[in-house]
Structure 1
């Protein structure tokens, strides 16, 4: 599960930098930057939900002192 989360976080970073690249390259003439940043938001929400679900089902360890 940890590997999946790390891969998704890496995808968030890639999407963030691709959005930045499209902002500079397109100079506001296209909507590629908006699409890239939308993908980043969706991936970020997916990571957040995945972390909550993984913690709830015990796939990720809790804080020290909790089982």
Structure 2
């Protein structure tokens, strides 16, 4: 179970990192490289963030289904 915690933390770091990369691409004011290159970099970073988020969600669903993680917290009504 502790492996799952590390895997989730690594996925969150990857998601935040790709979001930061998109922010840097958006904020960078270098006009010599052109807007098309900057937009392409930002789109790739945001696509990676979406892909990592979906992968993390599916991993959590699969882990619950396989019994690797157990739900905790408030009981469902």
Question: Could you tell me the TM-score, scaled by structure 1's length?
Answer: 0.86
- SS of equivalent to 1:60: coil
Partner Cα separation in structure 2 for residue 13 and residue 19 of structure 1: 10
Deviation by residue 1:31-56 (Cα, 9 ceiling, x = unmatched): 10000000000000000000000011
Deviation by residue 1:3-55 (Cα, 9 ceiling, x = unmatched): 11110011000100110100111577121000000000000000000000001
Deviating above 4 A after TM superposition, structure 1's stretches of 4 or more consecutive aligned residues are: none
Partner Cα separation in structure 1 for residue 68 and residue 9 of structure 2: 15
Residue of structure 2 equivalent to 1:41: 50
Partner Cα separation in structure 2 for residue 40 and residue 62 of structure 1: 26
- SS of equivalent to 2:13: helix
- The more displaced of 52-61 and 22-31 is 22-31
Residue correspondences, number: 65
Residue of structure 1 equivalent to 2:6: 3
Unaligned runs of 5+ in 1: none
Unaligned runs of 5+ in 2: none
Please tell me the root mean square deviation across aligned C-alpha atoms, in Å. Answer: 1.7
Residue of structure 1 equivalent to 2:67: 58
